[in-house]
Structure 1
């Protein structure tokens, strides 16, 4: 039996998922789970990459304990955040988290070098103030000395792969989220990098998912008790999740539903048009040079925050079920930046309702109902925008990721969009990570075969639209 290990690290937790093929179906086993979260360091929100790597190693030891040694492994994480390494491969300064406010005003400095319209035409990436392009401008203006010492720029999962193998490789899907990759060449836009005054030499050649990084270093082998190959998955978690969308049609809408809701479709050619920019769609890199044409919607981060504030011990499923019984119809703009990192999400939702003259929700179930209503409306608006821009009518929406379990939200989405909603698999990110490894190993032939395998391996729930 060949085992494959996906280490999937999100903004709030990480897990080690083993997978194998048995009776023609993909099987999954969670072997380790750990906490993740942003820490306050010197007044900034940061990631503790040292602690996260210790958790990576700890989970690998669990594979040894249960006697299931992976043939290969790969790590995916969230996007846009990075480390800068010096000439001794040590991390320079803090590893900032994307919700940190240091990027405030950095967009204006970027647009002094290149107009926003030209930037979108080159990269096809939507404006998000936390994109790496703005984070690097913050480094340049606030910590120029550190940026000057940098010898290597690595996205977070690429840094972890380096710690495992001693080999540095920069993976494509995550690199595309920096807003520094040219949408036509699928390579770093070095002219753009020069315009912005970022050091060219820190950016490594871009590699595609399925590329072998190397084998575990001897130091890591001694710690975990085995050796295996490290293979690049789609290291951006959404890139991995989209791989696992169990549709065999090219005209497919998806929502990768988790902390963020990423809603869109796959394109073979990036859409960098003014209309696309006006609707704030992004063209992130996908497996096999496909483009993930999507919009970032605030997502279940809002529910996660409200739960933490009002009812931290209650299960999300219970919150969703109780919200379904509420009759409140208030709606907020879930994409408003006010919900990105408020001091209190509950108070922010209530304030938004109050300011717009709507009923103000009280208690976790009413607040959750407002959030679910608002997300469904965002999804419906996004469907209409995609269909207008792409001149395609989509028959259904595939929801993957943890949010696929939110039955009430799926029901609202079906009603708001008028589309049939298919929900699942919930472990899409880990599955997509493993798909890239299995294709690289020859166990699955290509993406189409891998998606067929996912379709037949996991339960997919259906919710009819109006």
Structure 2
């Protein structure tokens, strides 16, 4: 078959990139054509995304992709979860776009827990009451600005909005909708009970639609008029999970700003155990269940390193830092990774130090010591989650499959292996972009199903297995 070129627009909370996948039917070759930093900004006491600047980078990346690959066939967008825009009847922004780490929803979350309504919402949606949930964000927004009900016609989560800007079609995609505590846990539909509870008009949403369909040709970008916009899993973690080769009884980790630990299942995780563990029953691009536990991730290290003048600025420097940290002994006291003060502090180093002191520990003095502390602490957090997942499901896992930027961190992978007593298989796989491109190929009719695509990817993928040095260390 002739080569097919597809552009994955992959937007993370700290960086974005456009990667072109070239598919031959026998292999997939990736070419990064554009990368750029991303960050939210604080105004007064609230945090916002600069959505116009972000989309300008998307346009720039697609233009470069078309220049390098004149036969570019399609593009697809995935982003982080929960964040969204409110649009009027003409598609104009009716409200600024808050960033999910904004703390404005915390009073509402606490009221839900104090009243016991968080359990009711969990039974409806299969998602715990996390303060960044789209449902909580919309509930707080409507409480503060009730007139928006008369102004707003649609709510689109971020990848849905970028799809609209590219294709002109408004569509709510299923995987990204599932991140926000908006979907009914049974079937693929928005939860009427949840929307009513928060006073959210049901007509603000439609569908949701399953991934792998054509939305329309790219508009308003010169030279891209013949490029199809394909609906892919809007949530980056869904893309990453669906790209991982399946072997044995694996549990999966998508490692980056967050560590999302879980798997793909035929049924949701329900009931008291799932509720107590805080399992999020998110969805894949076809509406299947992806129960996972959302853990603090490398955001801790990203934010802490800002405080050090010798902060690494390249991949080689980060690797050298990890090597130094690996030579250090494990700290006597680890970070409590359930501490809410670590979610979005003004000073991450101060927040980590306070966390340790509350437990009777002594804060580190150097960046390598902090890196060792963070990797060991995250590993313990993962180990606790794997154990709880096993108890909840009755399954015995024989391997941990890890993808994402954190899979390149050898110290983190080794410490997860040591803490869980399980081998950790790190795949040299741009999981998010690969999953994104797989759905584009599905939408273009170039593959029959994703299993065929994954099987081809698995034949050529590089991987490294980390064996536990000491089980349960």
Residue in structure 1 matched with residue 132 of structure 2 by the alignment: 130
Residue in structure 2 matched with residue 259 of structure 1 by the alignment: 257
For the Cα contact (< 8 Å) 1:242–1:256, is it kept in 2?
A: yes
SS at match of 1:144: coil
Residue in structure 1 matched with residue 462 of structure 2 by the alignment: 459
Structure 2 vs 1, CA of residues 453 and 146 (structure 1 numbering), >3 Å: closer, same or farther?
same
Which runs of 4 or more aligned residues in structure 1 lie more than 4 Å from their structure 2 counterparts after TM superposition?
A: 108-114
For the Cα contact (< 8 Å) 2:174–2:286, is it kept in 1?
A: no
Residue in structure 2 matched with residue 301 of structure 1 by the alignment: 299
SS at match of 2:104: helix
Matched, 1:417 2:415: no
Which residues of 2 match residues 106-185 of structure 1 at below 5 A?
106-110=108-112, 115-185=117-187
Residue 367 of structure 1, aligned match among 365, 370, 375: 370
Q: Could you list the per-position Cα deviations for residues 129-183 of structure 1 after superposition, in whole angstroms to 9, with x for gaps in the alignment? A: 1101110111011122234311000000100010011110110000011102001
Distance across 2 between alignment mates of 1:126 and 1:380: 20
1:113 to partner: Cα distance: 9.0
Residue 41 of structure 1, aligned match among 27, 32, 43: 43
Which residues of 2 match residues 334-413 of structure 1 at below 5 A?
334-413=337-416
Residue in structure 2 matched with residue 207 of structure 1 by the alignment: 209
Which residues of 2 match residues 220-259 of structure 1 at below 5 A?
220=221, 222=222, 224-249=223-248, 251-259=249-257
Q: Could you list the per-position Cα deviations for residues 2-49 of structure 1 after superposition, in whole angstroms to 9, with x for gaps in the alignment? A: 101100000011000000124711110000111210012343111111
- Between stretches 107-116 and 302-311, larger displacement belongs to 107-116
Scaled by the length of structure 2, the TM-score of the pair is 0.94
1:440 to partner: Cα distance: 2.4
Q: Matched residue pairs, number?
A: 462
SS at match of 2:211: coil
Scaled by the length of structure 1, the TM-score of the pair is 0.95
1:87 to partner: Cα distance: 1.8
SS at match of 2:56: helix
- Between stretches 388-397 and 119-128, larger displacement belongs to 119-128
For the Cα contact (< 8 Å) 1:215–1:227, is it kept in 2?
A: yes
SS at match of 1:266: coil
For the Cα contact (< 8 Å) 1:309–1:346, is it kept in 2?
A: yes
Distance across 1 between alignment mates of 2:421 and 2:224: 53
Distance across 1 between alignment mates of 2:135 and 2:82: 9
Superposition RMSD on alpha carbons, in Å? 1.7
Distance across 1 between alignment mates of 2:111 and 2:417: 42
1:84 to partner: Cα distance: 0.1
1:245 to partner: Cα distance: 1.1
1:93 to partner: Cα distance: 2.0
For the Cα contact (< 8 Å) 2:20–2:33, is it kept in 1?
A: yes
Which residues of 2 match residues 312-323 of structure 1 at below 5 A?
312-314=311-313, 315-323=317-325
Residue 432 of structure 2, aligned match among 425, 429, 433: 429
Gaps of 5+ in 1: none
For the Cα contact (< 8 Å) 2:103–2:131, is it kept in 1?
A: no
Gaps of 5+ in 2: none
SS at match of 1:270: coil
SS at match of 1:240: helix
Structure 2 vs 1, CA of residues 195 and 23 (structure 1 numbering), >3 Å: closer, same or farther?
closer
Distance across 1 between alignment mates of 2:301 and 2:382: 16
For the Cα contact (< 8 Å) 1:414–1:463, is it kept in 2?
A: yes
